[in-house]
Structure 1
Amino acid sequence: MRRKFMGISQQVLGDSIGLTFQQVQKYERGSNRISASKLWHIGQVLKVPIDYFFDGFAGGEAPEDAPGGTEAKINAFLTTTEGIELAEVFPKVSGPKLRRKVLDLVKALADDSEI
C-alpha cells in the first residue's frame, strides 16, 4: 500500500533495493519470505520505519468496538487495489449530496450481499 501511495512502481522499488520487479511482486503477494535486511531496505526507500510493516501484528482480529477495531478494518480495506482506487476517486465526486448518494448506494449493495 505504501509503495502505491508514493507512486513507486515495483520496478523502481526493485531497482532501489537490488531486486527484480518479479521478486518485489512475490514479496507483496506473500509467496516469498523476505529477510529482515531487505525489509529494512524497503523501509528506507518507502521512508517508513521497519515497524510500519508490523502494524496490527499483535494477532487476532480486534472486535469492532475495541479500540482500533474499525481502524484495522479500514486499513485492511485500504491495502486492496479497490480500496486505494476508491480512496483516490471518492474525493473527486463533486458536492456532499452526491457523495452521500454514493455512500448510500454502497451501503445498499453491502446489505444486499449479506442476504
Structure 2
Amino acid sequence: MSDLIDGHVGSRVAQRRQDMRYTQVQLADAVGVTFQQIQKYERGVNRIAASRLWQMADFLNTDINYFFDGLTMTEMSHPSPKQTATKTSAEIARRATELTPRHQKLVLDLMDQLCKVPAAPIGEPAE
C-alpha cells in the first residue's frame, strides 16, 4: 500500500514541477538533493520525508495537500495500526494549532497524565 502512495506522491511532485516549468536539477538544488534523487522520488522508488516534501511544496508554490490529491480510500483501505496512529497524531497536531496557547498547555498536561495510565483496549473501561 505504501508503494502506491509513494508512487502517487512522486508523480504529483513530477506533475507540479513540470507545470511550474522547473527541471529536476532546479528542484534538486532547491531542496538540497541530487537530481537522481528527484528522479527516484518522482518514480516512487524512494519515499519522500515529510520535511523534504514540505520544502518541495514551498519551492513549487503549492499546498502540501496537492501531492495527496486524488488518493482514494482504496489505497488507504487497510491502514496498519502504526499508520492509524500516525494519522491520529497528525490530526492532533493539526487541530492543536487552532487552540489558544493556554488551551494547548492544558492539552499537553492532559496528554502527560494519559501517558502515565496504561491504555485499555478500545471499548473496555480503563483501570
1:56 counterpart = 2:70: yes
Match of 1:34 among 13, 27, 48: 48
Say which SS state the counterpart of residue 8 (structure 1) adopts.
coil
Q: Give structure 2 stretches of 5+ with no counterpart.
A: 1-14, 76-127
In 2, Cα distance between the equivalents of 1:25 and 1:41? Answer: 16
* Identity rate, percent: 52
Partner of 1:2: 16
Residue 56 of structure 1, CA deviation: 1.8
- 1:18 and 2:32 aligned: yes
Structure number with greater CO (CA < 8 Å, separation at least 6) is 2
| Residue 28 of structure 1: how far off its partner (Å) | 0.0
User: If the length of structure 1 is used for normalisation, what is the TM-score?
Assistant: 0.51
What residue identity is the alignment partner of 1:5? D
Aligned-partner residue type, residue 43 of structure 1: A
RMSD, aligned CA: 1.3
Residue correspondences, number:
61
Which structure is larger by alpha-carbon Rg, 1 or 2? 2
Runs of 4+ aligned structure 1 residues displaced above 4 Å come to none
Distance (Å, rounded) in 1 between the aligned partners of 2:55 and 2:61: 10
Mapping 1:84-99, distance limit 5 Å: none
